[in-house]
A and B are shown apart, each in its own frame.
Chain A
Amino acid sequence: MSSNTLASGGPVPSVGRDRRPGRKLPAKQLLGLAGIVGFLATWELIPRLGLIDERFLPPASEVILALGRDFGLTAFWLSVGETMVAWFLGLIIAVALAVLLGFIIGSSDFLRRATNSTVEFLRPIPSVALIPLAVLLFGVKIESSLMLITYAAFWQVLIQVLYGVADVDMVANNTAKTYGLGRMARIRYVVFPTALPYLMTGVRLAATVALVLAITAELVIGSPGLGREIALAQSGGAISGMYALVLATGLIGVLINALMRLIEKKTLSWHSSVRSEVIV
C-alpha cells in the first residue's frame, strides 16, 4: 500500500545517499593530526627563531632524532622495561587489594559507614609525600616505587568499586534472590557485573596515575627506570636526550590509555556506554 503511494509520489529525496563513499571517516582524525603537526611546527620554530635558547629547548626535529636513536639502544628498552614492570606490578597489587576490600566494605552498610571517614582522610594524601617513608623502608629499590604506585592507584580503584557495589539494582537483586541465588552467587552474577564498568573506569584512571608515580619515584628516589634516565640525562647535559625520554613517557601514557579503552570496550560490550544502538 505504502509502496504505491511512494512510487507515484514524485522524486525520492536523496537524503540517505552517500555520494562520496571514500571521504567520510577521517575528518576527526585529520583535525587531530593537524593539531599534532601544528604543535611540532611551533616547537620547531621557537628555538630556531631564537625565542628560547636551543640549550634549554632543542627543536622538535632534534628531539625526535634523539628518540629514534634511543629506540635502537638496549639500555633504553631496559629502562622502559623497568618502568613498565614497576607500573604493572604496582597497578596489579593496587587493583587486587582495592577489589577485595571494595567488595567486602561495599557489601556491608556497617563497614561502609565505619570506613568512610578514614578513606576520605587517607585518599587525598599525595603519594609523593610518602617518598621519604618509602626510602626509609625500602631504600633505592623497586619496592619503594611499588609502594608509591600502589598507594596512589589503590584509592582510584577503591572509590570506584565502592560506588559500583552500591549501584546494584534492587529489582535485579530481588530477582536473583527469588531464583534462589545465595550471597556468593549474587556477588558473582549480579554485584560483580554491576560494579565492572566502575571498576574499569577506576583501573583506567589508576593506570595513568601509576605511570606518573612510577616515573616520579625513579626521578626522585633514583630507582632504575626511565625517570632515573631523565635525571641522568639532565645532569649530564644531554638536553635533547632528556626531552626524548620525556617524549617517550608521554607515548607510553598514550599507549596505556588506548589499551585500557580497548579492554573496557571488550569487557563492557553489553553496557550502555559502549553498546551500539538497539537493533530490533
Chain B
Amino acid sequence: MQPDPTPEAMLSVRGLKKVYQTDGGDIEAVRNLTFDLRAGELVCLVGPSGSGKTTLLKCISGLMAPTEGEVLLDGKRVSGPPKKMAVVFQEYGRSLFPWMRVRDNVELPLKNQGVPKAERDKLVDEALEAVGLAHVPRSYPWQLSGGMQQRVAIARAIAYQPEVLLMDEPFAAVDAQTRADLEDLIRTIWKKFGVTVLFVTHDIDESVYLGERVIILSSSPTVVQEDIVIDLPVDRDQLETRSLPRFTELRHHVYEQIQLAKKGHRPAAAGSPADSTAGSAAG
C-alpha cells in the first residue's frame, strides 16, 4: 500500500499512525505519515503545537509502538530503541543524570555497550571536544548553565556514534543567544560526523536556518503538510544567511503553511508522500 522507501533511505517512516486509547475514547494523534531521510541528511520537522511531533519521535525512537505503519532504520524495522540511533531530549536537566559527572554521563551508554576503556576514553574526549566542553569533564551537569548542559547531552549522543540523531526541540528551553550558538554547533557536528539528523522544532526560523529540508506537519491528526528543500548555501551564518532574500522567502513560505495547518487546512492528497519542492511552492 505504501510506496517503497527510496533505496538510499537511512530512516524511513511508512504510513505511520498512532491512536491513543483513553477512557474518554480513542484519540488519533498521528493519522498517516510517510517520509524518508537519506543517509547524511539534516531534516527539520516543524508543525503547529499539538501536531503529534513528540508522538512521532517516540515511535521513531522505538519508545512507543505505532498503531499502524512502520519505521525503518537502514532497512530494518524499528521495534525497540535501535542501536544506531541517539536521541537528544528537550529537557536536558532531566535527561542528564545529576548523580554522574559530565564525563560519566557521556561515557555511560558506551560502558553499557561494553566498548573497551581505551576506545571509550577516545570517543568521550572527542565528543566533549566537539561540543567545546573539554574543560569540564569533572563537573556535575547541574553545575553548568542550561546551554552547556544541552551540549553535554549532544556530546553523549555523538560519543554513541549513531547513524541517526533525533533531536526533540532541543533548544526550546535555552535563551536566544545560546540557541544561536547551539544551532551552529549542530551544523558543524552534522558536517563533521556525517550523521543523519532529524531535528524537531516548533521554531520556523530555526527549521529554515538549520535544515537541508523542512517537513511541515499538519495539525492533529497529523499528516505531512509539505516537504520542502531548503536551497540555502551549505555554509550558514547567523547574520548573513538570515539576511538572504531566499531565507526570508522560505521562512515566509513555511510560516504560511503553518498558519494554514493551524486553521485546519490539509494537503489535497492527505497521506500521499508530498514531494513538492520550495521552488514550485514558494517561487
Does residue A235 face the partner (Cβ distance < 8 Å to B)?
no
Least CB separation from A268: chain B residue: B99
Least CB separation from B144: chain A residue: A280
Contacts of A121 in B (CB 8 A): none
A179 touches B112 (CB 8 A): yes
A271 touches B98 (CB 8 A): yes
Contacts of B144 in A (CB 8 A): 280
Known A174-B89, A175-B95; judge A180-B113 contact (CB<8 A).
Answer: yes
Contacts of B61 in A (CB 8 A): 178
- Mark out the residues of chain A between 164 and 182 whose CB falls within 8 Å of any chain B CB in the assembled complex: 169-172, 174-175, 177-181
B94 touches A169 (CB 8 A): yes
A80 to chain B, nearest CB (A): 36
Contacts of B83 in A (CB 8 A): 180
Separation of A280 and B142 alpha carbons in the complex (Å): 9
Interface size class of A (residues with CB under 8 A): 20 to 34
- Mark out the residues of chain B between 72 and 100 whose CB falls within 8 Å of any chain A CB in the assembled complex: 81, 83, 85-87, 89, 91, 94-95, 97-100
**Which of these binds chain B: A53-61, A82-90, A102-110, A185-193?**
A185-193
Does residue B160 face the partner (Cβ distance < 8 Å to A)?
yes
Contacts of A271 in B (CB 8 A): 98-99
Separation of A193 and B61 alpha carbons in the complex (Å): 25
Separation of A170 and B94 alpha carbons in the complex (Å): 8
A178 touches B94 (CB 8 A): no
Contacts of A171 in B (CB 8 A): 89, 91, 94-95
Contacts of A185 in B (CB 8 A): 112
Number of interface residues of B (CB under 8 A): 29
Known A169-B94, A271-B98; judge A178-B81 contact (CB<8 A).
Answer: yes
Q: Which of A172, A177, A275, A280 contacts B94 (CB 8 A)?
A: A172
A276 to chain B, nearest CB (A): 9
A174 to chain B, nearest CB (A): 6
Does residue B6 face the partner (Cβ distance < 8 Å to A)?
no
Per-residue CB contact flags for chain A residues 25-50 toward chain B (1 = under 8 Å, else 0) read 00000000000000000000000000
A175 touches B142 (CB 8 A): no
Separation of A185 and B113 alpha carbons in the complex (Å): 11
Contacts of A170 in B (CB 8 A): 94
Does residue B137 face the partner (Cβ distance < 8 Å to A)?
no
Known A180-B81, A270-B140; judge A280-B148 contact (CB<8 A).
Answer: yes
Contacts of A129 in B (CB 8 A): none
B169 to chain A, nearest CB (A): 13
Interface of B is mostly: loop
Contacts of A270 in B (CB 8 A): 98-100, 140, 142
B108 touches A280 (CB 8 A): no
Least CB separation from B90: chain A residue: A171
B172 to chain A, nearest CB (A): 14
Separation of A169 and B92 alpha carbons in the complex (Å): 12
A177 touches B63 (CB 8 A): yes
A264 to chain B, nearest CB (A): 14
Does residue B67 face the partner (Cβ distance < 8 Å to A)?
no
Least CB separation from A186: chain B residue: B112
A181 touches B112 (CB 8 A): yes
B97 touches A278 (CB 8 A): no
Does residue B143 face the partner (Cβ distance < 8 Å to A)?
yes
Separation of A196 and B100 alpha carbons in the complex (Å): 13
Contacts of B108 in A (CB 8 A): 179, 181, 189
Least CB separation from A189: chain B residue: B108
Does residue B178 face the partner (Cβ distance < 8 Å to A)?
no
Separation of A169 and B156 alpha carbons in the complex (Å): 19
Separation of A196 and B86 alpha carbons in the complex (Å): 28
Contacts of B85 in A (CB 8 A): 178
Does residue A279 face the partner (Cβ distance < 8 Å to B)?
yes
Separation of A271 and B145 alpha carbons in the complex (Å): 17
B156 to chain A, nearest CB (A): 8
Separation of A275 and B143 alpha carbons in the complex (Å): 10
Separation of A169 and B109 alpha carbons in the complex (Å): 18
A280 touches B143 (CB 8 A): yes
A280 touches B140 (CB 8 A): no
Known A179-B108, A181-B109; judge A172-B95 contact (CB<8 A).
Answer: yes
Please list the 8 inter-chain residue pairs (A to B) with the smallest Cβ-Cβ separation, ordered nearest first.
A179-B109, A171-B94, A193-B99, A178-B87, A175-B95, A270-B99, A178-B81, A171-B91
25 A-B pairs with C-beta separation under 8 A: A171-B94, A172-B95, A175-B95, A177-B81, A178-B63, A179-B86, A179-B108, A180-B113, A181-B109, A181-B112, A185-B112, A189-B112, A193-B97, A193-B99, A270-B99, A270-B100, A270-B142, A271-B98, A271-B99, A272-B142, A275-B142, A278-B142, A280-B139, A280-B143, A280-B148
Contacts beyond the supplied A174-B87, A275-B140: 15 A-B pairs with Cβ under 8 Å? A171-B95, A174-B63, A178-B62, A178-B81, A179-B109, A179-B160, A180-B112, A189-B97, A190-B97, A193-B99, A271-B99, A275-B142, A278-B143, A279-B139, A280-B148
| B-to-A contact residues, CB < 8 Å | 61-63, 81, 83, 85-87, 89, 91, 94-95, 97-100, 108-109, 112-113, 139-140, 142-145, 148, 156, 160
